[in-house]
Chains A and B, each alone.
Chain A
């Protein structure tokens, strides 16, 4: 997983978070978090007791002041954690908002008449309006290209500086408000009202304004609230038991015990963890429409991956030169390189490289004027060069063969066989032919092969270790698909896949109780994206696809689905780890506070003071301080997430239980002792 782009503790974010720690004290906000609300009530009560003691001139004020102070800190630290998590999103939202400034749009009353332009504010545009954008114009709202092809700078949304092509029809017709047209012109039909655009939604999402608790957060909140009530009972009933025993415990001490016992660590960091999880996705340039989908990503059992662009590089590469009878392989390579020298496509470059590597045929430069490049076109379906009397062509088998036949050239009898074999094996045959002084002949075939992305096999085996199955989706025939599936190490493949097949596969997996994640960009992907539990739509895709998915990848990189799953898992792990840590902490706190509480009534209970804390006051204070500081100490972990390594559940559990379970038991023993020593050192008790 890549590191976040911004440092964790960014100056302005920290300052804003510190301010917000106080504004978040409003009871209406606090009550959403029952654990911290109890701490707030405890802080208020302790402060009231302090006020009473001050008014009546009671002794022991110093202790009560410190307790009250640290209780307030506990609440503030928790608020700070949440504000920090939100802060990173807010900073991003601010920069997005800057692009949302109102722009003047050139509205067309009739899209057929390009000339009839009416000036209109972007705020006035409604669904169904048409606008025209020329180079330098900011697109005023989300829409669909009605007419034209243009390059568009989408860096405001994606952070990617390379411009993208947007054109009418097909899968690249969606444009986003706030992006800028760089060349040509676009006539755009507006598809979102102001305030409902993609940018608006994105701002709301990254800011966390519309954030709702995820299912696991809700369940966890119930658990934590239940524990809190139990501890309220345990502490409240302690007073009668103490009275029975001939003593009584002061309110601040009882509140201290309560606050130490209730799971404040996880209670204080819960929402920060959730927000940070979404934020990590945003760092990866993925926008999740809800926290629920991030969690679902962690639960995914089956990944549907499109072959092209995800498992294989988008482009095929030359793997072999196969000459026909009577032609040497060097000759073929030489001519193939000639034909590809001016060809800037990845396929073309791979041919040049292969000829160079295999046969040491150096790349030659063609003098301008001497050679003429014949570019690929959809009608000829071949490309090549003309050099004086020598013409070289490479292209689709039938097209090149027709070119040779048209010049009455000879076609070797084994040519058709080679072409057929390569196609059967899943490769793409490119036939190379030349016409030298009017004598045309086919030389052989270049074997273009799908290249499986480096490291993808290892990633799939890591996914398998986590119990996630991968299914490759491809339009290739089953034979080809099987070959690539084997090479890439996917668990299953769906060949000659139609959108209906894909849908059926998702439904079948879901019927077996599995959660399915997939990526898609085309309009025909939309139903499957909607059906899948996690549907990541490519930002380059159509509006329909983006509407259907519950996440959008701004980089349009389908491999990122794996990262999305990992972030989902990391989010859940962090929740679990800190819950375990928080609950395990209680053991030490009991041993610190209980003997201290009853030291007057039962000095014999000092035997339970295993940490040998200095005095009752120092023991209680040290526990409260530890309880507050641990929240601050764990903020980086909450924001960054626990260390994530793909491994089987049993192994992950063992590691995390050792760190957060056992650690949670032991750390407070050490921490409370150290704080106790510091308190004594600085004469605070």
Chain B
């Protein structure tokens, strides 16, 4: 570990802290409707789609609107991918995407997962990338934030019963939040050397005299929303490790900040909606502690490197000319600290973009991304999904410990009762179940084992990672697992749908139940949700209720792999 490495992590943390409040206030204004500079465009959109801007929806209608929108757009994407050879903007003449892969890809982008079992540069036409995948990058992100805002409304409103209007939230989020931020960020990327063109692929002769085909495309525009919307689907297979996607340390920094920007801002927005800014910051703090813990562990593990490498005479000591540590699968321009940091951020948030191969991390370094996802993507988390996932954990924490102050647990003045606990538990249960059950099936079925490139605990890590990443709607891959099979395309595609929509329904139901509740005025007897103690409690509940469930499985994967590595065995 180097001072420079720690400095970069500190710089990132400081930048995150600085942007949280201004961006949070902006997001608040977007969703409360006071942001009006695109009002004419907004009006036209509402008129075309027949949406009444002022009509508030009950949670059932809000959920139904969201499901109809997602379902319809997923079907459309499936159709386009199957028919892309007949559609324009296909200079490389890409053929139809196979059935299962098209299903999985449609599910993947609709659910904000962006798990990719294909290489973009050899599978997708420009038309498919731009009209479908990029569309979902915006739409799934705006859907996520809309849902988080709906939950926030449900909790903070005073016995209103309604959650807002899904269509309006979708339009506003896209118009005022994701489009402007993406445009700005895309320009920054272009300036830094990210490519943006529609040309045919370029053939070049390398210095060694070999011929190489360089893939081209409108990368910068997709790159921006990939990070801002915590989507993570790369234009190229190598994702943010590719020099055309992420050429410089600066683009790397902006990409990382873009991933956390909106999730962090949402805590501030929420605090202001609840009229309790300190509570918003308490949530931020809990997320930050978990983030910095993960980042430090990953950095430590990767900088320490692999003792087996060291034993064979590889120089693993950091110096001015050598990053040291475990550089396998990492880009030299990013080095240890920024690879570990990127891996932590992309898995804390359900982004899934990668700038290094997580499969090549040391066992403990690879454990961090895995655990991050298994925490339920609540450490800042996906856009929207992070906040609503965190609020579910808050509801559970308040219920478990709230009784200890001698009252029926209250959260921001609203009682947490049987129905709310039921929905929160369903949320947690579906998440744990969808990971464990699918991974267990894969671990003992021939079809599941066929995709493995590594044996032993590392292979198990690969399987668990794949199902965790899809259920958590992260989309990053541990690599090493050939996901492009009928078995994996199907089961992973279904897992993504369950991990998104089956969890959203109880979440939004909880929002509806909370919205109907009357608020009890705060008093000295009210459960405190702004203190460091609350932050510690929340973190404990996330770790014990959330992550400990996976401990037995992890013990057989990365944990035992770590101890075996110490003993000189590799997989």
Contact = CB atoms under 8 A, between A and B. Distances in A.
A604 interface: yes
A514 B410 CA distance: 12
Contacts of A514: 520-521
A116 interface: no
Contacts of B505: none
B440 A650 contact: no
Contacts of B563: 602, 604-605, 607
Given A219-B418, A512-B521, A513-B520, A652 B460 contact: no
Contacts of B432: 230, 233-234
Nearest to B443: A244
A388 interface: no
B406 A652 contact: yes
A499 interface: no
B313 interface: no
Interface stretch (B89-97, B216-224, B396-404): B396-404
A237 B406 CA distance: 38
Contact of B527 (A235, A245, A653, A660): A653
Contacts of B119: none
Contact of B407 (A234, A298, A607, A656): A298
Contact of A584 (B439, B521, B544, B564): B544
B550 to A, nearest CB: 7
A653 B404 contact: yes
A598 interface: yes
B506 to A, nearest CB: 11
Interface in B519-565: 519-521, 523-528, 531, 533, 537, 540, 544-545, 548-553, 555-556, 559-560, 563-564
B460 A245 contact: yes
Contacts of B545: 227, 583
Interface string A294-324: 0100110100000000000000000000000
A245 B558 CA distance: 12
Nearest to B551: A590
A163 interface: no
B504 to A, nearest CB: 18
A659 to B, nearest CB: 10
Given A215-B408, A237-B553, A298-B407, A222 B421 contact: yes
Interface in A310-365: none
B428 A230 contact: yes
Nearest to B403: A576
B2 interface: no
Contact of A245 (B403, B525, B533, B556): B556
B449 to A, nearest CB: 8
Interface residues of B, number: 67
B444 A229 contact: no
B441 interface: yes
B214 interface: no
A233 B444 CA distance: 16
Contact of B533 (A301, A468, A605, A653): A653
A466 interface: yes
Contact of B560 (A569, A598, A652, A653): A598
Nearest to B560: A602
B33 to A, nearest CB: 27
Contact of B439 (A226, A237, A583, A649): A237
B520 A230 contact: no
Nearest to B444: A240
A376 interface: no
Contacts of A245: 456-457, 460, 556
A200 B402 CA distance: 36
A474 interface: no
Given A238-B553, A605-B555, A233 B437 contact: yes
Contacts of A242: 556
A649 B526 contact: yes
A236 B459 CA distance: 20
Contacts of B406: 298, 466, 568-570, 572-573, 644, 649, 652
A513 B422 contact: no
A664 to B, nearest CB: 10
Interface residues of A, number: 75
Most chain B beta-carbon contacts within 10 A, residue among A215, A229, A244, A597: A244
Contacts of A251: none
A222 B428 CA distance: 13
B401 to A, nearest CB: 6
A579 B400 contact: yes
Contacts of A573: 403-406
Contacts of A650: 528, 531, 533
A467 B404 contact: no
A390 interface: no
A147 interface: no
A216 B403 CA distance: 9
B484 interface: no
Contact of A661 (B421, B436, B460, B540): B540
Interface string A185-203: 0000000000000000000
Contacts of B13: none
Given A513-B520, A580-B400, A653 B460 contact: no
Interface in A629-659: 644, 648-650, 652-654, 656-657
A680 interface: no
A654 B531 CA distance: 10
Contacts of B422: 222, 226
B425 interface: yes
A295 B407 CA distance: 8
Nearest to A223: B421
B417 interface: yes
A25 B464 CA distance: 39
B353 interface: no
Interface in B41-59: none
Contacts of A299: 407-408
A586 B543 CA distance: 11
B450 interface: no
B520 A295 contact: no
B413 interface: yes
B426 interface: yes
A479 B555 CA distance: 73
A594 B526 contact: no
A211 interface: no
Contacts of A229: 429
A587 interface: yes
Contacts of B213: none
A510 to B, nearest CB: 9
Contacts of B463: 244
A660 B422 CA distance: 24
A218 interface: yes
Contacts of B428: 226, 230
A301 B528 contact: no
B440 A219 contact: no
B456 to A, nearest CB: 8
Interface in B417-456: 417-418, 420-422, 425-426, 428-429, 432-433, 436-437, 439-441, 443-444, 449, 456
B440 A657 contact: no
A633 B88 CA distance: 74
Contacts of B556: 241-242, 244-245, 598, 602
B560 A241 contact: no
B460 A301 contact: no
A237 B440 contact: yes
Contact of B550 (A218, A234, A605, A608): A234
24 contacts: A226-B428, A227-B425, A237-B440, A238-B553, A240-B440, A240-B444, A241-B552, A241-B556, A245-B456, A245-B460, A301-B523, A466-B525, A469-B523, A570-B406, A579-B400, A586-B544, A594-B552, A602-B564, A604-B564, A605-B563, A648-B524, A650-B531, A652-B404, A653-B404
Given A234-B436, A234-B553, A466-B406, 6 more contacts: A230-B428, A233-B436, A584-B540, A604-B560, A650-B531, A661-B537
In the A-B complex, list the 4 residue pairs whose CB atoms are closest, starting with the nearest. A467-B525, A576-B403, A226-B425, A467-B523
